[in-house]
């Protein structure tokens, strides 16, 4: 059984800019993957331990390039699990190294969940 | 060993000059409070911390004075009282003439912390965990909540490599931290220890004491916290952080820094009586005071001022008064005695550090705090010198008392620097 959301889905994005919340709403209503990607990028930026005006690219490595540590990775995953109602295991997580990895990994998880529901 | 720096985030001020002014004037820092949206609770006032907003469980909502920088890398693991503590450490380092770089990675500098943890964060984190039947939880949920939260976070932030440790003996915690810091320096294991005490003031920290029926229900601050008064009816909560920088005297001298006071020694003893109540005659506290005096080579008549634990509870103040009479009055000694909790409320784990720092201010600035809310002294205080107003006389030797649940009693003796 999947965990139940702590609050109404999407409420966790309250602190994010309107465009991120709109993107999440669009993803929820249409399944638009480009919108999901925008949300994931915003979450990655939000959990960077050292804030800075970095423009995120697919190739950037979470730890080496963005200053993530294992706690920040765990925080990001906790947030995404809660937001998207997916479960991400420790082993799966170890394969995620770059921003692009995380994006495609989250996409795959969401699609798996969708096909399971269908 | 000497005290070279102090840092304050307290109900009576967030810097040493404001705190000193409040102590001299007998001006309290209590303010009206309401918890859990319930105006009917019998908790009306508390020693609130001003200029900080840390009542949310999300660090993203917190606010603190602009003079302190807290990077998000540090912020994400802090408990609310960790914010107070980090600012107080920064302030104390500045006061001691130490840069953050000077202590980072210095293997002779340690940090001893006193904290009960954050019940608010713990409750929130566990509620999240329960809501999803343990499937997931906040990865910061241990670091930002359990009673080691101060040492975990501050040691990492300030890159402490000498030693780091936490102390948990309820209202004697910070006094224990100070005492063992004293020992570490005396044993030559460390040359400098940053002693930190901090406490939150929120429903989760304070209301469990309402359930124990030990809080004052008075709404007038002058009546709510009145240690040693015959009409006292319980303690008033308080929050904040205080930091003392303790250094080997030769290290301070080599740095060209003037000592603010000497920590002459300390002592502790246990009651062996009750999990929460003090021994009715303050037997453990009496022995702790005697041991602190013996450790410092000080006779009772040499003590000019005692900063009492005096929380304003009927049972606690009586026990302390009897212990004080036994140590001092019976020996023909008459130090001035006051409890500054009349002004600050009782900040639990923080109390020992805050009041030790008040003792250092008394020695350095040349005055003794009074008991401004005292009207009718409890007959148990007969023979004790309890001045109402602060006394404009410089003490030479002062004693700081702390007592905690389980019968922990810890005292320190401070001496004016030559």
**How sure is the predictor about A75, in pLDDT bands with cuts at 50, 70 and 90?**
very high
Residue B173 near residue B116 (C-beta atoms within 8 A): yes
Phi, psi torsion values for B45, nearest 5 degrees: -135, 160
Those residues whose C-beta lies under 8 Å from the C-beta of residue A30, and which sit 6 or more positions away, are: none
Range of the domain at A26: 11-117
Percent of chain A scoring above 90 in pLDDT: 58
Min Cα–Cα distance to chain B from A112, Å: 19
* Region A82-100 average pLDDT: 88
| Cα dist from A85 to A75, A114, B126, B356, whole Å | 15, 11, 19, 51
Instruction: Name the domain count of chain A.
Output: 1
Query: Rounded to a whole number, what is the distance in Å from the CA of B78 to chain A's nearest CA?
Result: 13
Is this complex's ipTM strictly greater than 0.85? no
In a domain, A2, yes or no: no
Question: How many structural domains comprise chain B?
Answer: 1
- Dist CA B19 CA B10 (whole Å): 8
CA distance B282 to B292: 15
Instruction: Identify which has the larger pLDDT, A87 or A61.
Output: A61
Is residue B213 within 8 Å of B329, Cβ to Cβ? no
Is residue A66 over pLDDT 60? yes
Query: Is B309 considered catalytic here?
Result: yes
Whose CA is closest to B10, among B346, B234, B253? B346
Alpha-carbon gap, residue B76 to B288, rounded angstroms: 39
Distance CA B344, CA B416 (A): 24
Task: Report CB contact under 8 Å: B138, A15.
Answer: no
pLDDT tens per residue, range B245-285: 999 999 999 999 999 999 999 999 999 999 999 999 999 99
- How far is B171 from B191, CA to CA, in rounded Å? 27
Q: Is B176 a catalytic residue?
A: no
**Structural domain boundaries enclosing B97:** 2-415
Quickly list DSSP for B132-196: TTTS---TTTTTTTSTTHHHHHHHHHTT--SEEEEE--GGGHHHHHHHHHHHHHHTTS-SEEEEE
pLDDT at A58 over 50: yes
Mean pLDDT of B191-220: 98
Instruction: Tell which of B74, B139, B152 to mutate to test the A interface (max A CBs under 10 Å).
Output: B139
The whole-number pLDDT of residue A118 equals 64
Residues from chain A contacting residue B143 (CB–CB below 8 Å): 71
pLDDT digits (tens, 9 = 90+) for A15-57: 999 999 999 999 999 999 999 999 999 999 999 988 767 788 9
Residues of B within 8 A of A81 (CB-CB) are 136
In angstroms, the CA B370 to CA B23 distance is 8
Residue A6 maps to a domain = no
Q: What is the CATH number of the domain that holds A17?
A: 1.10.1200.10
User: What confidence tier does A11 reach under pLDDT thresholds 50, 70, 90?
Assistant: confident
CATH number for position B187: 3.40.47.10
Please say if B171 is a catalytic residue. yes
């Amino acid at each position: 059984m999947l965990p139940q959301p702590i609050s109404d889905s999407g409420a966790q994005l309250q602190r994010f800019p309107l465009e991120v919340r709109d993107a999440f709403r669009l993803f929820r209503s249409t399944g638009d993957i480009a919108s999901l990607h925008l949300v994931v990028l915003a979450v990655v930026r939000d959990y960077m331990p050292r804030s800075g005006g970095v423009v995120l690219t697919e190739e950037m490595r979470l730890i080496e390039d963005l200053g993530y540590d294992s706690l920040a990775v765990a925080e990001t995953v906790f947030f995404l699990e809660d937001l998207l109602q997916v479960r991400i295991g420790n082993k799966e997580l170890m394969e995620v190294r770059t921003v692009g990895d995380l994006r495609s990994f989250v996409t795959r998880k969401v699609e798996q969940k969708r096909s399971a529901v269908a | 060993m000497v005290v070279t720096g102090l840092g304050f985030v307290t109900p009576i001020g967030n810097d040493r000059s404001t705190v000193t002014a409040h102590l001299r004037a007998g001006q309290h820092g209590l303010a009206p409070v309401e918890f859990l949206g319930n105006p009917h609770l019998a908790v009306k006032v508390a020693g609130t911390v001003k200029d900080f907003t840390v009542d949310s469980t999300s660090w993203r909502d917190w606010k603190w004075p602009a003079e302190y920088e807290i990077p998000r890398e540090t912020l994400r693991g802090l408990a609310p009282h960790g914010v107070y503590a980090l600012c107080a450490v920064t302030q104390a380092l500045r006061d001691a003439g130490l840069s953050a770089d000077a202590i980072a990675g210095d293997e002779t500098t340690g940090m001893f912390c006193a904290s009960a943890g954050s019940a608010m964060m713990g409750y929130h984190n566990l509620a999240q965990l329960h809501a999803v039947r343990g499937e997931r939880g906040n990865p910061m949920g241990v670091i930002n909540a359990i009673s080691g939260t101060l040492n975990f976070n501050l040691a990492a932030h300030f890159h402490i490599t000498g030693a780091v440790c936490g102390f948990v003996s309820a209202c004697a915690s910070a006094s224990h931290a100070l005492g063992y810091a004293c020992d570490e320096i005396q044993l030559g294991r460390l040359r400098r220890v940053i002693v930190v005490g901090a406490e939150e003031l929120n429903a989760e920290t304070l209301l469990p004491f309402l359930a124990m029926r030990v809080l004052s229900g008075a709404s007038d601050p002058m009546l709510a916290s009145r240690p040693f008064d015959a009409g006292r009816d319980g303690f008033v909560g308080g929050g904040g952080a205080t930091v003392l920088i303790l250094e080997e005297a030769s290290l301070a001298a080599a740095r060209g820094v003037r000592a603010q006071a000497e920590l002459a020694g300390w002592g502790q003893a246990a009651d062996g009586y009750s999990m929460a109540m003090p021994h009715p005659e303050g037997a453990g506290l009496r022995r702790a005071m005697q041991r602190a005096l013996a450790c410092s080579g000080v006779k009772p008549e040499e003590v000019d001022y005692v900063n009492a634990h005096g929380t304003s509870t009927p049972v606690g103040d009586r026990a302390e008064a009897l212990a004080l009479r036994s140590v001092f009055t019976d020996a023909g000694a008459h130090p001035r005695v006051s409890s500054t909790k009349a002004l600050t409320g009782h900040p639990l784990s923080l109390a020992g550090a805050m009041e030790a720092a008040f003792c250092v201010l008394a020695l350095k600035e040349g005055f003794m705090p009074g008991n401004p809310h005292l009207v009718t002294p409890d007959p148990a205080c007969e023979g004790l010198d309890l001045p109402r107003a602060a006394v404009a006389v410089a003490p030479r030797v002062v004693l700081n008392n702390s007592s905690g649940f389980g019968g922990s009693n810890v005292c320190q003796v401070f001496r004016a620097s030559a």
